Amino acid sequence: MDTTTIVLLVIAGIVVVAGLYLWSTYNGLVTLNVRVDEAWSDITVQLKRRADLIPNLIETVKGYAKHEKEVFENVTKARAATTSAGTPAEAAAAEGMMQSALKSIFAVAEAYPELQASQNFQQLQAELVDTENKIQASRRFYNGGVREMNTAILVFPNNIWARQLGFGKRDFFEVDNPDAIAEPPKVQF
């Protein structure tokens, strides 16, 4: 073998290794991106489920507490903000508002023992608690996927290629007021 052939084989080997690396990196980032999108979809499904429960909860409480108009309006506004949120930042802002509104409606409910005893109200409470737990689980899954995606994008040598391949950091689902969502609304009477 002459020197030219060896040099060409080495260059070809380097090109093949670089191509395999880029192929593998791209496919890994696509997989992580899809996983994060799936996790975001899970969050939106759970937020929609909760938003669908809210009108039933409001109607049930309204029957007992007709004079609590402001509480119902706040819950309705929070529900609208949650359903219209399109990004993690918008959803996080709406989440704090929703938690505050739900706490208010359950505070109103505490003043009405006959409401607390209502089978319909108790069922709505149970569904809401279940949904809040699912939202928290979905948030953890989403944030875990974002962590993996952002780490994969930032580590060397991926950081050289990730942006050029069309991948950017994703936003975590972080709430402005973490204390507002530290626990699901208390619905025990």
* 69-81 residue pLDDT tens: 788 788 888 888 8
SS3 assignment, position 85: coil
The answer to the question of residue 3 being in a domain is no
The answer to the question of residue 142 being in a domain is yes
The answer to the question of residue 80 being in a domain is yes
Omega prior to 55 cis, within 30 of 0: no
> Do 50 and 128 meet the contact criterion of CB atoms below 8 Å apart?
yes
Q: What's the mean pLDDT in 18-23?
A: 91
For the chain, what's the residue count?
189
The answer to the question of residue 10 being in a domain is no
Residue 60 — pLDDT band, cuts 50, 70, 90?
A: confident
Q: What's the mean pLDDT in 87-103?
A: 85
The answer to the question of residue 92 being in a domain is yes
User: Domain range spanning residue 71?
Assistant: 15-181
* 155-165 residue pLDDT tens: 988 888 888 88
How confident is the model at residue 70, as a pLDDT?
Answer: 80
Tell me which residue of 26, 30, 145 sits closest to 88, measured CA to CA: 145
Q: How many CA atoms lie within 13 A of 26 on its CB side?
A: 9
- How many angstroms separate the CA atoms of 128 and 164, rounded? 44
* 1 compared with 167, residue with greater pLDDT: 167
* 137-152 residue pLDDT tens: 999 999 999 999 999 9
Q: What's the mean pLDDT in 46-66?
A: 82
The answer to the question of residue 5 being in a domain is no
The answer to the question of residue 87 being in a domain is yes
The answer to the question of residue 85 being in a domain is yes
Q: What's this model's pTM, rounded to 2 decimal places? A: 0.71
> Do 101 and 73 meet the contact criterion of CB atoms below 8 Å apart?
no
Q: Is the pLDDT of residue 188 over 50?
A: no
Domains identified in the chain, total number? 1
Which CATH number goes with the domain that contains 76? 1.20.1440.20
- How many angstroms separate the CA atoms of 60 and 44, rounded? 25
